[in-house]
Chain A
Amino acid sequence: MSAENSTSSGTAPGDRVAIGISFGNSNSSIAVTSVDDKAEVIANEDGDRQIPSIISYVDGEEYNGQQAKQQLIRNSKNTVAYFRDFLGQDFKSIDPTHCHASAHPIEHESTIAFTIQDKEEGDPSTVTISEIATRQFRRLKQSASDFTGKKVNAAVITIPTNFSEKQKAAITKSANDAGLEVLQLIHEPVAALLAYDARPESKVSDKNVVVVDLGGTRSDVAVIASRGGIYTTLATAHDYEFAGVHLDKVLEDHFAKEFIKWNTTDPRLEARSMAKLKLEAEATKKALSIGTNANFSVESLAEGADFASTINRLRYETIARKVFDGFSRLVEGVVKKAGLDVLDIDEVILSGGTSHTPKIAKNFAAIFPESTTIFAPSTTPTAINPSELQARGAALQASLITEYESEDIEQSTHPAVTTVKHLTNAIGVLAITGDESKGIFTPILSAETSVPARRTIHINVPKEGGDVLVKIVEGGSHIKVTKPEPKPKTNGAKDDSDDSDEDSDDEPEEQREKVWKVGSVLAELAVKDTKKGGKVEVMINVAGDLGVTITAREVGAKGGVRGNLSAP
């Protein structure tokens, strides 16, 4: 009780028990960090790690998760589903499509509500969206409390990147009402990225990451520049036309047609049959992500007729191609929107339940060059379960900030701290290849690095040692497209970021590679009397006002050269 009262003012850091919550339209999940700072997604009392975001009422008793989902068949009027995106919106701007087979949203005192029979007796009551979300949070909190044995009172919650301030306020209020202090709201793609970067084997580096979050009712893609562990979102795209339900729809139609062949009625015309069809189609889709064959069987699908059938993965991939292609186009579009090329992307992270589908990861692998790592269960064995990424990221963030006073968190996430300058061009040093005397640009700081920033590199000296020149330049990358000869020659380029397709043997494809163009020279430094086989350490420190400090010294030697460039 005392925790619920004090959540608005913030719990003292010592009394906090914080979890990470991923609260989605279709599913929610909760994660905690264990003693060794490993995030772990926890199961609710039914044993589900993906808890359907559905609340259902039967005779005044509340059901949540998978149990509530089953109620969509028999008790759809008192079952509220797919409501996350309604939070903080007005009735005009919501899309109630997905709620068609459950309780329908209605306009109620400038907010959205559902009319449901949530008490054993009496008239149906009108429950606002905020209250529904609070009830969902309460269930999640309860599950987490049962698991940890401590009363959970704080959380980091993930939200889509396009949530408005009003929606953020609404989700915070709902969580507060459920007795959860919202430590921070973090963006879903960043949470997914954080979950991957927190693995012990991952190193802090400069990379461009595409986070593809394929959910049940919406798909979100974000291009994130990760620079020394600091994340900047470069571009985002949101799509409501290609998502998990659309894959379900493909299967529903497929099996409905099959059913009509044997029985004369169309199961899609009757609400209850449709609900059964939908649930089983989703299960079949999930089964097809794991095995190559899946069963589809529903008892009494329509007019008392049972239905059983099988489908193999190939067939599924054929009939669902339109949706898969939609995902691919979405990803390509957002990379372009960020002003990047697919060759600039170092990692693709697949997140969200729909990402389990192997074909999607395969399609993405075809879009991006081979050097790009696609983090999906079907392409990378070490990939983290895409459904759990966001909750894990949130839990990691929760463990990081749970020690801070809420005031500190607020100050740290203030735009004055988060809005900083980003480099437009890469900064690097000119090196030479073994035989050429022409400079080769070697980036030290990549473009889109937030300042202040500091990077250090170690660079070889020529074989014989002696005096060397360190030339600091700005550099830009561009994509070089070489049309090969009619007869494609063997891979001559050394750059391994070549887009070399094995299956295009007969038709020549253009070779695309990323090349650096040397821009304006910033400074020159001389490091004298280097030893044979030695290394030179070059450190570039860019201050918040874009002033640059450059230090160069031989590794192991004292002193070194140091110089400043004033801010522009």
Chain B
Amino acid sequence: MATHANVNLPLPILPTGWTAEKEFKAIGKLSAATQRSIEPVGPHFLAHARRARHKRTFSEDDRIQAQENAKKVEDDDSGEISEPEDPSMLLRDAKDWKQQDHYAVLGLSKYRYKATEDQIKRAHRKKVLKHHPDKRAAAGGTEDDSFFKCIQKATEVLLDPVKRRQFDSVDERADVEPPTKKQAKDGKYYKLWSNVFKAEGRFSRTQPVPKFGDEKSSKEDVDAFYNFFYNFDSWRSFEYQDEDVPDDNENRDQKRHMERKNNNARKKKKTEDSARLRQLVDQVMAGDERIKIFRQQANASKNKKKLDKELAEKQAKEAKEAEKLKAEQDKKDAEEKAKVERESSKKSKEQAKAAVKKNRRVMKGSVKDANYFVSGEPPAAVINDVLADVELIQGKIDADETAELADKLRDLKLAADIKNVWSAEAKRLVGASKIKEGDVKTFV
């Protein structure tokens, strides 16, 4: 907030006689303020929030921010490249540079393949300042510059991306030893193996490398991890361990022979490395509890499906059987019922038949009682006629009417009454046009 506005209008001149202690006169106070919400957006709000939360005033905040900014620059300068130097390392000879740990020489052994180019440059500068032969000589030491040469060699290797990659390929000090079964106990399995694969992942051409995760990782993550490491695309190469190829001016065949040998050695080492990694992944997968759990879960869900299906089938079968049973029962019941009905109807029919017979007998008896409506011995022709009429009427009326007629006739003794009843019946039937008028001969 160093900005300020400019006002061009001048200030008034101090009136004469104006005095105040320390040239300041407090007169009024601010009028009441309104409470409003400010929008939590923008860089100036963030500054406000920072002041409010840390309860700083403007000037305090300015100072602290300035300090923090300044400090950052300082940090960058000093760096954390301050490893104690191994005395034996200082005695190294630059000739066997292939065996030297370049990172350790520059004091970067805790960064290794992660060290940035900038870190390497600064580390180099720091070491040079300390180990330059002139400095040593000035300090009264020997003018031995062998370690200085080591430093130069290390920088040369590490600042050349191609050479650095070759060195990183064979830098086994950056490897993390796979834990033994004993070590990986007590829930440390994921943590320890995770470190191993973090280190292995440095050789991957595709970055970032999936993380090993922990016991809570999802199935997708775990699958992605194993897929990645089973199809590992490594840039690791083994040129660094080549045997020295003799100079040109010596035997050309010898040189070619050496080159071939080196090439074969590289290939062999590369295959061995791939096999080693594969074995490592096999090993970790075998001990991975998550895989087992996922398999169990998958099985469980599969089994569940199967069980569900079986259950559904069983239920359907039971339902079908029950239905069948019920249908059979129903059929049986119906049959029995029908039989009973049939039997009962047979009985009643027989009864009715018997009753009709009895009634008919009563009818015939009635005409016989009336002596066929003649006095004296009735002639056969009269009997025949009367009985024919009776039979005709009997044939035309149903069981109920027969019973009715028989009831009327049963107690009558007088021939005239009986004849009246018959005549009435005959008339009724004629009325109902069941018999023709001429058919009845006697009961007219």
Residues on A facing B (Cβ under 8 Å): 1-2, 5, 184, 186-187, 190-191, 194, 197, 203-204, 224, 228-234, 393, 397, 400-401, 411-413, 415, 417-425, 427, 429-434, 437, 439-440, 442, 444, 448, 450-452, 454-463, 466-471, 474, 519-528, 535-537, 541-544, 546, 548, 550, 561-568
Contacts and interface: CB of A to CB of B under 8 A. Distances in A.
B390 to A, nearest CB: 83
A440 B9 contact: yes
B41 A462 contact: no
From A520, A526, A566, name the one whose CB has the most chain B CB atoms within 10 angstroms: A526
Given A468-B14, A524-B18, A524-B24, 7 more contacts: A1-B224, A191-B41, A419-B37, A450-B48, A458-B5, A466-B13, A469-B13
B220 interface: yes
B218 A469 contact: no
Given A228-B1, A230-B45, A546 B37 contact: no
B70 interface: no
B10 A5 contact: no
Given A191-B41, A458-B5, A561 B32 contact: no
B38 A469 contact: no
Interface stretch (B50-58, B254-262, B311-319, B396-404): B50-58
Interface string B8-35: 1111111100101011111111111111
A442 B4 CA distance: 14
Contacts of A429: 7, 11
B46 interface: yes
A419 B38 CA distance: 6
B13 A424 contact: no
B46 A417 contact: no
Given A417-B53, A452-B51, A454-B1, A462 B35 contact: no
10 contacts: A197-B42, A231-B45, A412-B53, A420-B36, A427-B30, A432-B12, A437-B12, A546-B30, A550-B24, A563-B26
A459 B13 contact: no
A427 to B, nearest CB: 8
A2 B46 contact: no
Query: For chain B, which range describes its interface: under 10, 10 to 19, 20 to 34, or 35 or more residues?
Result: 35 or more
Contacts, number: 246
B28 A523 contact: yes
B36 A450 contact: yes
Contacts of B57: 452, 541, 543
Given A230-B45, A412-B46, A422-B33, A563 B27 contact: no
Contacts of A537: 4
A461 B10 contact: yes
A550 B25 CA distance: 11
CB-CB nearest 8 A-B residue pairs: A229-B44, A563-B24, A421-B33, A431-B9, A467-B14, A412-B49, A456-B4, A413-B40
B282 to A, nearest CB: 24
A546 B35 contact: no
Nearest to B45: A230
B45 A457 contact: no
B220 A1 contact: yes
A550 B29 CA distance: 12
Contacts of B24: 523-525, 550, 561-563
B228 to A, nearest CB: 13
